[in-house]
Amino acid sequence: MAEIAAVLGRLAPEELDGLRALGPQGHLTRPLIDALDRAAGGPGAGRGYVPSGSVSPTGGPYFVLRSDVSGWLFGAAAQLPLPQGEA
């Protein structure tokens, strides 16, 4: 992604709210994926998301924000896993 702040700055306020509502590792909806693609200049233009490693019931991959994008949006501490036994 070219510049995270610039790309996120091109999102509509409701799109940013949608990302924040999902949290740092929430599965992105199709409209949010489309919004990130649009803000980054189109599909494949440095998208800010990656496959999560899990799949939907229909077999398609779930996507989450890339760690650098999530860290920018939520702060680096939001990316740190909790120690075992703390949830």
- Reported as type and span, the H/E element at residue 64 is strand 61-65
In which residue ranges of the chain is pLDDT below 70?
1-2, 44-46, 76-87
Torsion angle of alpha carbons 25, 30, 32, 33, nearest 10°?
A: 80
Tokens 């019931």 belong to 57
Between CA 26 and CA 71 the distance in angstroms is 13
Output the six-digit token pair for 6: 């610039």
pLDDT tens for residues 15-35? 999 999 999 989 999 999 999
Between CA 16 and CA 85 the distance in angstroms is 32
What is the model's pTM?
A: 0.79
Compute the mean pLDDT over every residue in the chain, rounded to the nearest whole number: 84
Count of residues for the chain?
Answer: 87
- Confidence (pLDDT) at 75: 84
